[in-house]
């Protein structure tokens, strides 16, 4: 005679609930195992498998207890324990699979093909532990179906766990909860299909021995409570681990930026002093060159000096940028336009083996930045992406408005809360290991061979972005590509200044005006005076502010322009300019400096309407700038 089976509805619901909580915990623990390394990872793997395995098993066992026959039901303890072991082993397998750095579809499939039968195995071992006065038969079709469901549920579970393991965003918890519920239902579906596959007939007897556990309501409650405590411990552990890890990351970030700060100070200081020297080298080389006939053998030698000095000037400029000591000329600008413009230049440089996709946000906020410097940022990041994809690949550049909320996200990025414009560069290149990532912003750090990279690209980018009030973050895994995210603060009120772009290029570099040159560095002073003199100007030369005032008083004619160093002993350049302007209101002023923390430049940002030439400069560059200022095409009118 076939015994009629019935289910206790409340225990069925309870079993689904346990399955869902266990699934949620599993998704959460997968992230912890992934984040940990070495021994810590092993510990998480062990603890995670135990919690998850016991969770899955409890679901199964409560599901068994929900099952009623019109005869008393007992469980053989040995087989019950074996089913627990199998559940823990299946969980360990799952966690190992999803916490590997990169898991493709085949790996997920293979994992599911192992894990599904393991869970089904746990289930049927559990059924074999049944001790009832009846014989048990299975419907092969339903058994096969239950195994298939187990494999499918495992596949979905593994895929979700892999997907969620690094998701620490606010929505991550909700998504994990929803997924946990779906997975819980799938696992329960497998279980009850397996139960339905069994038929019990009398006379007969299942199980090897009499006794063991007796199926009672109390047992169900006991198992549920036990499982819930273990799962709760797992979740608590995961939460504490996450919190500790975040704090450690924050501390590391702070240390990292302090380190870069210190190197920046050093680099900026050296670069500043070198600028005066290079101005003299470049200038004097230009003079000698001008007085040496082209067929003179020395001509080529001097050209060599010029070339080397120019290269040195480029290097010091990059160091200044890294040390946040270059002078920025920020203007309100539309990052999308700058990006489009720069990309037009870059496409040829990048080559056809790389597919570039630009995804601009049409409603992008304006930023306040130096357009030339921003171009430099874009060029450096794109060239790095190209170098990371020698075999070709994809580069995606996106712009987006982002509001950083106070709290963990903004701290993680290293920027204060507020509105930012984000520009993200994602490549599918070789990626970086954590050790490399730690050092990429250091000047002269490069993994490219000798003579290929200077290692100044990202250092420059870092300096420019930080000096512009922004922040840069990188996410990368070896062989999986990299994403660089640059955050620039949103410009509060967009005021367009058209004068800058309307500046026409100066043609002539000579003139007859009188120029007062004030510079305490002997070599630079002489160079400037000579540059002016050979181009027809009348230079008046002073080496301090006081001397300049005296010269101005004694000079009966007009003085058209004041060319002054910003940093001077006692009276600085801008004080001098103010004093002179009081008596000579038509005077135009051109500042020169290699330094940034001064009266006219606050934190490296030039005050609007100020004319400035960055040291080192060539005589030609000085002459061009001078003409511009005298013609009134830039700066103060």
Ligand X SMILES: Nc1ncnc2c1ncn2[C@@H]1O[C@H](COP(=O)(O)OP(=O)(O)OP(=O)(O)O)[C@@H](O)[C@H]1O
Q: List residues binding ligand X (CB under 6 A).
A: 380, 384-385, 388, 427, 429-432, 436, 440, 445-448, 453-459, 482
List the one residue out of 393, 378, 340 whose CA is nearest residue 486: 378
- The distance of closest approach from Cβ of residue 454 to Mg ion in the complex, given in angstroms and rounded to an integer, is 8
The answer to whether 384 contacts Mg ion (rule: CB under 5 A) is yes
Q: How crowded is residue 140: how many other Cβ atoms within 10 Å of its Cβ?
A: 8
Nearer CB in complex with ligand X: 312/633:
312
Question: What is the DSSP annotation of 432-484?
Answer: --HHHHHHTTSTT---SPTTT--S-HHHHHHHHHHHTT-EEEEEE-TTS-EEE
Of these partners, ligand X, Mg ion, none, which one is at the site of residue 440 (CB under 5 to 8 Å by kind)? ligand X
Neighbour-count burial for 438-448, b at 16+ CB within 10 Å, e otherwise: eebbbbebbee
DSSP reduced 3-state for 40: helix
Of these partners, Mg ion, ligand X, none, which one is at the site of residue 7 (CB under 5 to 8 Å by kind)? none
Nearer CB in complex with ligand X: 127/459:
459
- The distance of closest approach from Cβ of residue 408 to ligand X in the complex, given in angstroms and rounded to an integer, is 26
Of these partners, Mg ion, ligand X, none, which one is at the site of residue 405 (CB under 5 to 8 Å by kind)? none
Q: For 583, list phi and psi in degrees, rounded to 5.
A: -100, -25
- The distance of closest approach from Cβ of residue 450 to Mg ion in the complex, given in angstroms and rounded to an integer, is 15
Q: Can you count the helices (H) and strands (E) in the chain?
A: 17, 21
Nearer CB in complex with ligand X: 435/505:
435
**Residue 482 burial (10 A CB sphere; 0-12, 13-18, 19+):** buried
Of these partners, ligand X, Mg ion, none, which one is at the site of residue 509 (CB under 5 to 8 Å by kind)? none
Of these partners, Mg ion, ligand X, none, which one is at the site of residue 111 (CB under 5 to 8 Å by kind)? none
Question: Binding mask 334-373 vs Mg ion (x if CB under 5 A, - otherwise)?
Answer: ----------------------------------------
Nearer CB in complex with Mg ion: 382/532:
382
- The distance of closest approach from Cβ of residue 385 to ligand X in the complex, given in angstroms and rounded to an integer, is 5
- The distance of closest approach from Cβ of residue 464 to ligand X in the complex, given in angstroms and rounded to an integer, is 13
List the one residue out of 133, 36, 129, 115 whose CA is nearest residue 75: 129
Is the distance from CB of 626 to CB of 590 less than 8 angstroms? yes
Select from 170-178, 377-385, 409-417, 418-426 the region that touches Mg ion (CB under 5 A): 377-385
Q: Is 412 left (phi over 0), alpha (psi -120 to 50) or beta?
A: alpha
Of these partners, ligand X, Mg ion, none, which one is at the site of residue 430 (CB under 5 to 8 Å by kind)? ligand X
Of these partners, Mg ion, ligand X, none, which one is at the site of residue 432 (CB under 5 to 8 Å by kind)? ligand X
Q: What is the C-alpha separation between 552 and 565, in angstroms, rounded?
A: 17
Nearer CB in complex with Mg ion: 433/597:
433
> β-strands 67-68, 482-489: how paired?
unpaired
List the one residue out of 566, 521, 573, 582 whose CA is nearest residue 548: 573
List % helix, strand, coil for the chain (3-state, nearest 5).
55, 15, 30
- The distance of closest approach from Cβ of residue 410 to ligand X in the complex, given in angstroms and rounded to an integer, is 24
- The distance of closest approach from Cβ of residue 457 to Mg ion in the complex, given in angstroms and rounded to an integer, is 3
Of these partners, ligand X, Mg ion, none, which one is at the site of residue 125 (CB under 5 to 8 Å by kind)? none
Of these partners, ligand X, Mg ion, none, which one is at the site of residue 169 (CB under 5 to 8 Å by kind)? none
Helix or strand run (H / E) with residue 164? helix 140-164
Strands of 612-614's sheet in order across = 538-542, 514-518, 561-565, 588-593, 612-614
- The distance of closest approach from Cβ of residue 453 to Mg ion in the complex, given in angstroms and rounded to an integer, is 6
Select from 158-166, 282-290, 300-308, 457-465 the region that touches Mg ion (CB under 5 A): 457-465
- The distance of closest approach from Cβ of residue 380 to Mg ion in the complex, given in angstroms and rounded to an integer, is 5
The answer to whether 463 contacts Mg ion (rule: CB under 5 A) is no
- Greatest alpha-carbon pair distance for the chain in Å reads 129
Nearer CB in complex with ligand X: 279/428:
428
Nearer CB in complex with Mg ion: 138/475:
475
Which residue of this chain has its Cβ atom nearest to Mg ion in the complex? 457
List the one residue out of 524, 569, 574, 522 whose CA is nearest residue 547: 569
- The distance of closest approach from Cβ of residue 321 to ligand X in the complex, given in angstroms and rounded to an integer, is 12
Is the distance from CB of 634 to CB of 628 less than 8 angstroms? yes
The answer to whether 376 contacts Mg ion (rule: CB under 5 A) is no
- The distance of closest approach from Cβ of residue 507 to Mg ion in the complex, given in angstroms and rounded to an integer, is 36
Of these partners, Mg ion, ligand X, none, which one is at the site of residue 427 (CB under 5 to 8 Å by kind)? ligand X
Nearer CB in complex with Mg ion: 425/617:
425
The answer to whether 189 contacts Mg ion (rule: CB under 5 A) is no
List the structure tokens of 596. 């940034």
Select from 11-19, 273-281, 403-411, 454-462 the region that touches Mg ion (CB under 5 A): 454-462
Nearer CB in complex with Mg ion: 233/315:
315
Nearer CB in complex with Mg ion: 462/595:
462
Nearer CB in complex with ligand X: 369/385:
385
Q: What is the C-alpha separation between 618 and 463, in angstroms, rounded?
A: 25
The answer to whether 457 contacts Mg ion (rule: CB under 5 A) is yes
Nearer CB in complex with ligand X: 21/374:
374
- The distance of closest approach from Cβ of residue 384 to Mg ion in the complex, given in angstroms and rounded to an integer, is 4
Nearer CB in complex with ligand X: 7/445:
445
Select from 314-322, 325-333, 370-378, 450-458 the region that touches Mg ion (CB under 5 A): 450-458
Nearer CB in complex with ligand X: 138/444:
444
- The distance of closest approach from Cβ of residue 326 to ligand X in the complex, given in angstroms and rounded to an integer, is 16
Which residue of this chain has its Cβ atom nearest to ligand X in the complex? 457
List the structure tokens of 561. 């322009």
Question: What is the DSSP annotation of 182-217?
Answer: HHHHHHHHHHHHHHHTEEEESS---SSSS-SEE--H
Of these partners, Mg ion, ligand X, none, which one is at the site of residue 22 (CB under 5 to 8 Å by kind)? none
Neighbour-count burial for 44-74, b at 16+ CB within 10 Å, e otherwise: bbebbbbbbbbbbbbbbbbbbbbbebeeebb
- The distance of closest approach from Cβ of residue 393 to Mg ion in the complex, given in angstroms and rounded to an integer, is 16
CA distances for 430 relative to 183, 240, 394, angstroms:
35, 33, 12
CA distances for 9 relative to 16, 197, 242, 349, angstroms:
11, 19, 37, 68
Where along the sequence are the contacts to Mg ion (CB under 5 A)?
384, 457
């Amino acid at each position: 005679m076939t015994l009629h089976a019935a289910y206790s509805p409340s225990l069925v619901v309870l079993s689904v609930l346990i399955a869902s909580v266990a699934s949620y915990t599993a998704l959460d623990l997968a992230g912890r195992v992934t984040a940990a390394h070495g021994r810590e990872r092993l510990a998480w793997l062990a603890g995670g498998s135990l919690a998850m395995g016991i969770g899955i098993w409890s679901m199964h066992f409560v599901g068994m207890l929900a099952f009623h026959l019109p005869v008393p039901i007992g469980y053989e303890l040995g087989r019950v324990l074996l089913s627990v072991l199998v559940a823990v082993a299946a969980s360990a397998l799952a966690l190992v699979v999803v916490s590997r750095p990169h898991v493709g579809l085949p790996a997920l499939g293979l994992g599911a093909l192992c894990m599904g039968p393991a869970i089904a195995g746990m289930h049927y071992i559990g059924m074999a532990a049944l001790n009832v006065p009846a014989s048990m038969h299975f419907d092969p079709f339903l058994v096969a179906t239950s195994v298939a469901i187990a494999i499918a549920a495992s596949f979905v579970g593994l895929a979700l766990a892999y997907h969620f393991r690094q998701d620490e965003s606010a929505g991550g918890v909700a998504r994990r909860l929803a997924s946990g519920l779906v997975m819980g239902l799938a696992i329960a579906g497998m279980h009850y299909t397996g139960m339905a596959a069994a038929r019990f007939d009398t006379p007969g007897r299942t199980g090897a021995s009499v006794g063991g556990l007796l199926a009672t309501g109390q047992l169900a409650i006991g198992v549920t409570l036990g499982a819930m405590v273990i799962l709760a411990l797992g979740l608590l552990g995961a939460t504490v681990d996450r919190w500790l890890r975040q704090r450690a990351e924050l501390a590391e970030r702070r240390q990292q930026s302090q380190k870069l700060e210190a190197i920046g100070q050093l680099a900026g200081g050296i670069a500043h002093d070198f600028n005066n020297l290079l101005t003299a080298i470049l200038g004097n080389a230009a003079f000698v060159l001008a007085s040496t006939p082209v067929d003179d053998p020395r001509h080529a030698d001097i050209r060599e000096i010029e070339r080397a000095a120019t290269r040195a000037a480029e290097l010091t400029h990059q160091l200044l940028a890294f040390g946040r000591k270059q002078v920025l000329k920020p203007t309100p600008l539309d990052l999308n336009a700058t990006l489009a413009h720069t990309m037009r230049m870059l496409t040829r440089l990048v080559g056809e083996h790389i597919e570039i996709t630009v995804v601009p946000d049409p409603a992008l906020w304006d930023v306040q930045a130096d357009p030339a410097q921003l171009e430099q940022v874009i060029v450096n990041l794109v060239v790095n992406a190209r170098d990371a994809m020698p075999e070709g690949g994809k580069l995606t550049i996106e712009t987006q408005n982002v509001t950083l909320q106070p709290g963990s996200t903004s701290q993680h990025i290293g920027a204060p809360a507020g509105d930012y414009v984000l520009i993200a560069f994602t490549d599918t290149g070789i990626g970086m290991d954590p050790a490399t990532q730690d050092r990429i912003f250091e000047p002269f750090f490069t993994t490219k061979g000798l003579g290929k990279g200077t290692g100044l690209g990202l250092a420059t980018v870092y300096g420019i972005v930080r000096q512009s009030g922004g922040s840069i973050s990188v996410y990368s895994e070896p062989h999986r590509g990299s994403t660089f995210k640059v955050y620039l603060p949103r410009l509060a009120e967009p005021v367009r200044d058209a004068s800058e772009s309307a500046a026409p290029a100066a043609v002539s570099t000579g003139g007859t005006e009188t120029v007062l040159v004030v510079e305490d560095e002997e070599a630079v002073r002489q160079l400037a005076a000579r540059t002016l003199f050979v181009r027809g100007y009348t230079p008046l030369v002073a080496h301090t502010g006081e001397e300049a005032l005296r010269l101005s008083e004694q000079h009966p004619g007009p003085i058209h322009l004041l060319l002054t160093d910003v940093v001077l002993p006692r009276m600085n350049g801008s004080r001098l300019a103010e004093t002179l302007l009081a008596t000579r209101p038509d005077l135009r002023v051109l500042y020169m400096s290699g330094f940034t923390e001064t009266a006219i430049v606050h934190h490296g940002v030039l005050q609007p309407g100020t004319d400035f030439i960055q040291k080192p400069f060539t005589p030609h560059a000085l002459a061009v700038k001078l003409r511009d200022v005298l013609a009134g095409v830039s700066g103060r009118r």
